[in-house]
Chain A
């Protein structure tokens, strides 16, 4: 059924459709509406999961850790400082191999105190062992919650569904809300063979030897890499059932493109319009949408690029003293190639500044005409 939903409500509907058992969260803008809606749905009997009230994000993730340990499908949502406060628990949850799904609604990090969007909050959690999937429409948000549970539960790795604060979280779009029966077909009940059984005395994740620890981390890495294939399979199954296909990276009009915008999140939707405009002007422009950040689709990227093409990577995030974070990851993935495409990194829209079609077209032209500096981050701003 098609409904007009804001991004946060699309996420909440996804969590309900996933028949999530336990939700624990602490309010923070711009995420709070997800949890408010889940509680409303709970009050009216449409959502039967248990809600655990907590006093902080650290405790929210700790509560999910507990519920997931006994095999309950668990969910939380947060943003910015709240995600940073969870940091310690994020490592613990991935190390304990608990398939928790979390929504992070991107919000820039303070100081100074700020509510608007950028991706530095989620990307700062790069090394916590969580999968990260980026959405560029409200439909993708709902669908990604379902996809995230399926992939997470198959590889026993937690997953973050990430989208732009306000630009998606508070903006209404038409969303196809799938039928519960179809969702149940796509996402069967969670059966975790490693769940704690109350009738058995067992200790989880107690002190290992260095050899054991080393192998557990190698096993996690093995499964993180396996998740790339599991994600593609889940995408195929999703298409069979719901008619929409999701991939790790999604090219748009790239067939004969000389220069390709590489964008994640909501600006990837805007970039489609920018590419259409550039094509009308006779420019050979394309777009590559990055959906997965962890596991990083390095092989898919290497298969996709051709020598002689230029990539204009647009980062609404920044690693101080270095580069935009997607840009550095992309450069690292392409390094093993004998002949590599040129990669230009652009910083735009930190702290919620608009990334307009005009700005994206200018970025494309700077890269296409070789006016940008490939050795450093190019800071861009919409003139208005």
Chain B
């Protein structure tokens, strides 16, 4: 009989992976990418604050976007007061 054979008490109730979600490079979902005009950037950090992926690095003063996680949502382009973020088409891979 193709009955499910398992001991529920010995089966964990939830799925926990010892691997970090950081390994999940969700940036591959992106179809448009943000391009920052470094001349126009005023270092106001608004893009850093609004990025829902927390993938804007501002350690060097000028925002660096981690393309491993950026999904191209364009929120940074929308909120940038200096209007220095342009969204450009990803080239087909």
**Is B truly associated with A?**
yes
Question: Is B11 in the interface zone, CB < 8 Å from A?
Answer: yes
Which of B13-21, B67-75, B78-86 forms part of the interface with chain A? B13-21
Which of A22-30, A207-215, A301-309 forms part of the interface with chain B? A207-215
A206 to B24, CA, bound (A): 10
Question: Is A299 in the interface zone, CB < 8 Å from B?
Answer: no
A202 to B14, CA, bound (A): 12
Which one of A201, A203, A208, A220 lies within 8 Å of B13 (CB-CB)? A220
A206 to B19, CA, bound (A): 10
> Do residues B17 and A206 form an inter-chain contact, with CB atoms below 8 A?
yes
> Do residues A216 and B20 form an inter-chain contact, with CB atoms below 8 A?
no
User: How many residues on the B side are at the interface (Cβ–Cβ under 8 A)?
Assistant: 17
Question: Is B91 in the interface zone, CB < 8 Å from A?
Answer: no
Grouping DSSP codes into helix (H, G, I), strand (E, B) and loop, the B interface class, with mixed when no group exceeds half, is: loop
> Min CB distance, A203 to chain B, in Å?
4
Residue of chain A at shortest CB distance from B4: A218
Residue of chain A at shortest CB distance from B22: A201
Which one of A96, A201, A212, A218 lies within 8 Å of B20 (CB-CB)? A201
> Do residues B4 and A216 form an inter-chain contact, with CB atoms below 8 A?
no
> Do residues A156 and B16 form an inter-chain contact, with CB atoms below 8 A?
no
Chain B residues closer than 8 Å to A212, beta-carbon distance: 15
Grouping DSSP codes into helix (H, G, I), strand (E, B) and loop, the A interface class, with mixed when no group exceeds half, is: mixed
Instruction: Classify chain A: how many residues form its interface, as a range.
Output: 20 to 34
On whether A194 and B13 interact (CB within 8 A), knowing A202-B18, A203-B19, A206-B21, the answer reads: yes
Chain A residues closer than 8 Å to B24, beta-carbon distance: 203, 206
> Do residues B16 and A216 form an inter-chain contact, with CB atoms below 8 A?
no
> Do residues A208 and B15 form an inter-chain contact, with CB atoms below 8 A?
yes
Chain B residues closer than 8 Å to A204, beta-carbon distance: 14-17
> Do residues A194 and B16 form an inter-chain contact, with CB atoms below 8 A?
yes
> Do residues A216 and B14 form an inter-chain contact, with CB atoms below 8 A?
yes
> Do residues A205 and B14 form an inter-chain contact, with CB atoms below 8 A?
yes
Question: Is A222 in the interface zone, CB < 8 Å from B?
Answer: yes
Which one of B8, B14, B18 lies within 8 Å of A218 (CB-CB)? B8
> Do residues A97 and B14 form an inter-chain contact, with CB atoms below 8 A?
yes
Chain A residues closer than 8 Å to B18, beta-carbon distance: 201-202
The A164-213 residues at the B interface (CB cut-off 8 A) are 194, 201-206, 208, 212
Chain B residues closer than 8 Å to A201, beta-carbon distance: 18-20, 22
Chain A residues closer than 8 Å to B15, beta-carbon distance: 204-206, 208, 212, 216
The B5-49 residues at the A interface (CB cut-off 8 A) are 6, 8-9, 11-22, 24
On whether A222 and B8 interact (CB within 8 A), knowing A203-B21, A206-B21, the answer reads: yes
Chain A residues closer than 8 Å to B9, beta-carbon distance: 222
Chain B residues closer than 8 Å to A220, beta-carbon distance: 13
A259 to B50, CA, bound (A): 63
Chain A residues closer than 8 Å to B21, beta-carbon distance: 203, 206
Most buried by A among B4, B15, B17, B20: B15
> Do residues B16 and A214 form an inter-chain contact, with CB atoms below 8 A?
no
> Do residues B16 and A202 form an inter-chain contact, with CB atoms below 8 A?
yes
Chain A residues closer than 8 Å to B13, beta-carbon distance: 97, 156, 194, 216, 219-220, 223
> Min CB distance, B14 to chain A, in Å?
5
> Min CB distance, A63 to chain B, in Å?
16
Q: Given known contacts A201-B22, A203-B17, A204-B16, what 10 new A-B pairs fall within 8 Å (CB)? A: A202-B16, A202-B18, A203-B21, A205-B15, A206-B17, A208-B15, A215-B4, A215-B11, A216-B11, A223-B8
User: Which A residues have a C-beta under 8 Å from some C-beta of B?
Assistant: 96-97, 156, 194, 201-206, 208, 212, 214-216, 218-220, 222-223
8 contacts between A and B (CB under 8 A): A201-B18, A201-B22, A206-B21, A214-B4, A215-B6, A216-B11, A219-B11, A222-B9
